[in-house]
Structure 1
Amino acid sequence: MKRKLTWLIVIAGLIPPMIAQAHVKWFASVEPEKVNIEEILSPFFITISVLCAVILAVLSQVMGRVMDIPFASKIDLKLDSFRKYSRQLLKYGTAVSFILQVSYGTMFAPEFTIHNTWQRVVMWIIIIFLLIPHHIATKIAALFMLGLFIQIWSDSGWFHMLDYGFYLAIIGVLLVGKTRFETVGFPFLYLGTGLSLCWVAVEKWVYPTMTIDIIHHHHVPTFGFEAGIFVVLSAFIEFVVGYLLVVGILNRVLAVVVTILFILTTMIFGYTEVVGHAMIHIVLLIFIIEGVSFYHPPIKIHKTRMDQMIFVSLNFLFVLSTFLLIYYRFA
């Protein structure tokens, strides 16, 4: 068991399992069954939590050194030249994502089906205004997006829509373009996307039977582990990726790995996966282009390496505990 755990930790550090990137609600065929908090906070869970905190502390000092490699530095400089296109990528990428959604008969995510003609009309209004190359049209599209999101929010409930909180970040970026608040747009996108990934990761701990059902029905590889253990570990990986986004450790290399994994999930989950995660693909492409150039990460508040390591590890445990307790309380 120790040997298997060591290998999975190594693999997890480089290539997160594909199930960690799949949204459970889209593919599960069983009803959600909430487990007891004692079952979640098992000795195995606590051990992995502490281990992740230690790894993140070390990672905070290692990730920056990757860019010192000559080949990585050359790619880094090349990507810098594409930064001027980041906002256009978000604008037109959102339009493409919405075209996929409306053609699939959904809004924002595969679980929100278009039931009324006015919803389809609003979707096309958003798409048309996003395709108009003017910042006023972009803001109009963002306002329509916000209105439609609020309407779905009122029907589905605030707790459910927290899974898609990154859309609020996208709307915010589109709204502040060409204003004095433009510089806070992309940092807000980092924060919103990271928190959304952390939130949906907790779902796998609270409702593990849904993820186990997906593993069995879609024959997801578990690297030799029992499905229950694999669910816990895959959720940790997704939570860690989201946390790395928030604290500003996720650099271009890791963003590339996550993007490739999102693409690979289509081999298992098909077109629904494409429609559901198209918007996330766009966001990750922006992260690849921008790196952390526009983001003043919280970790930089601390100057010494030891202070940064302590901050990252202890803050991870605090964020993990907070997310888990809030999710479990309202689930």
Structure 2
Amino acid sequence: MKKFRLLFPILILIGLIMTPFITEAHVKWFTEVAPKKEAIENILSPLFMSLALAAAIVLGVLTLIIPKTADWKFIREWDSKLSGLRKYSRFILKYGTAAAILIQVTNGTLFAPELHIQHDAAVILAWITIGLLLVPHHIATKAGALTLLGLFIYITTQHGVFYMLDYGFYVAIIGVLLAGNTRFENMGFPFLYLGTGLSLCWVAVEKWVFPSMSLDIVVNHHVPTFGFAPGAFIVMAAFIEFVVGYLLVVGILNRVLGMVVTLIFVSTTMLFGFTEIIGHFMVHIVLIIFIIEGVSFYNPPIKMHKTKVDQFIFVFLNFLFVLGTFILIYYRFA
């Protein structure tokens, strides 16, 4: 039994690292295929339903196993070393955001590779944002965050709220920057966890609702499917991405998740090239913060339930509820 406890998290880690490359890709960045909505009865296939139940069970089991790993010596040492870096988290986010905007604006885009800047005023505001974020004072940081918020609202008016939900984590980043040196400072990083997790879940649903776009990427970029049929591969890849987002929201395995997803993003860069760097540089910064911070400041929802059985039931049922809600909302407004 003791060996099983040791191997189980390691197997999960290996499995996530070997997740197919397409898992974390925004499909609209790499295909020109027009989105074609799949019929709901095809989305809710036997494979989809089986994977949903399997994922819910695995997530419930994780709530029972992960707390026990906290007593392992190397885990304690790892936590101690990473906790010592927490004082740099806000600086990493601040200057990382400036670097991300710099990469984007020098390539004529903002927030994502396909969102091209249309007006000179937006370019000027983007450079002002970068300059303000580089100033080592919290007033300048807040001013830069407000300018960035204005740019996000501007881009949203150009492309629509539904479209920009893919990049909702930028709103969470802006919230963290604005909350610094205020009485709301402790709420910043939990908001970042929530915003990033929900964004990942939202992007995952796109692969189920518009599978033709993902299929085009698999074919044209020669994405390895590891022996699975392309259609089944896409369903499974989207589940991995949705599960990662859900885990960030409920507060399970955050440091390990940050490390694993960062490795996946590095892998996708080798496959998709510079476009991947433009689009995911900011996400890398956020994941580095997750690796450093863990969940010390975050009271995850599962902590509302004291017994292990209650936590298992909560995660199991809540995952299915969240999954169904995301699909219905996305399908309705897509």
Assess same fold via TM > 0.5.
Answer: yes
Task: Pick from 66, 77, 80 the counterpart of residue 80 of structure 2.
Answer: 77
Matched, 1:171 2:145: no
Q: Tell me the secondary structure at the aligned position of residue 106 of structure 2.
A: helix
TM-superposition CA deviations, 1:211-230 (whole Å, max 9, x none) = 01101111111110010000
C-alpha displacement at 1:9, in angstroms? 8.9
Aligned to 1:56: 59
Q: Normalising by structure 2, report the TM-score.
A: 0.95
Separation in 2, partners of 1:111, 1:13: 28
Residue segments in structure 1 that go unaligned for 5+ positions in a row: 1-7
Q: Is the 8 A contact 1:222 1:230 kept in 2?
A: yes
Conserved 8 A contact 2:98-2:133: yes
Which residue of the partner structure matches residue 195 of structure 1?
198
- Per the TM alignment, residue 11 of structure 1 is displaced from its structure 2 partner at its CA by 6.0
Moved more, 234-243 or 53-62: 53-62
- Provide the rounded CA distance (Å) in 1 between the counterparts of 2:165 and 2:81: 36
- Structure 1 CA distance for aligned equivalents of residues 77 and 229 of structure 2: 42
Equivalence for 1:212: 215
Q: Is the 2:17–2:264 contact (alpha carbons within 8 Å) kept by the matching residues of 1?
A: no
The corresponding residue for 1:251 is: 254
2: CA distance between counterparts of 1:184 and 1:210?
A: 37
Determine if the alignment matches structure 1 residue 282 to structure 2 residue 285.
yes
Whether 1:272 and 2:255 are equivalent positions in the alignment is no
Distance 1:104 1:65, change over 3 A: farther
Question: 1:128 — aligned with what?
Answer: 131
- The offset of 1:71, in angstroms, is 1.9
Q: Which residue pairs with 1:321 in the alignment?
A: 324
1:22 paired residue among 10, 13, 25: 25
d(CA) in 2 for partners of 1:302, 1:15: 32
Partner of residue 300, structure 1: 303
- The residue number in structure 1 matching 2:119 is 116
Task: Please state how far the C-alpha of 1:16 moved relative to its aligned partner.
Answer: 2.5
How big is the shift at 1:135? 0.2
**Where does residue 41 of structure 1 map in the other structure?**
44
> 2:18 is matched by which residue type in structure 1?
I
Q: Which residue in the other structure is 1:309 paired with?
A: 312
In the other structure, the counterpart of 1:237 is 240
Which digits, 9 at most, give the CA deviation of each residue in 1:161-214, with x for residues without a partner? 111111100000000100000000000000000000000000000000100110
Aligned pair count reads: 324
Task: State the distance in 2 between where 1:137 and 1:119 align.
Answer: 19
Unpaired stretches in structure 2, ≥5 consecutive residues: 1-10
Alpha-carbon displacement from aligned partner over 1:99-157 (angstroms, at most 9, x marks no partner): 11011110011111012111111110000000000000000000001111001111111
Q: 1:233 to 1:11 in 2, by over 3 A?
A: farther
Q: Which letter does structure 2 place at the counterpart of 1:184? A: M
Compute the displacement of 1:67 (Å): 3.2
Deviation of 1:13 (Å): 4.5
RMSD over aligned Cα atoms: 1.4
SS in 1 for 2:114: strand
Comparing 119-128 with 252-261, greater Cα deviation is found at: 252-261
Tell me which moved more, 252-261 or 157-166: 252-261
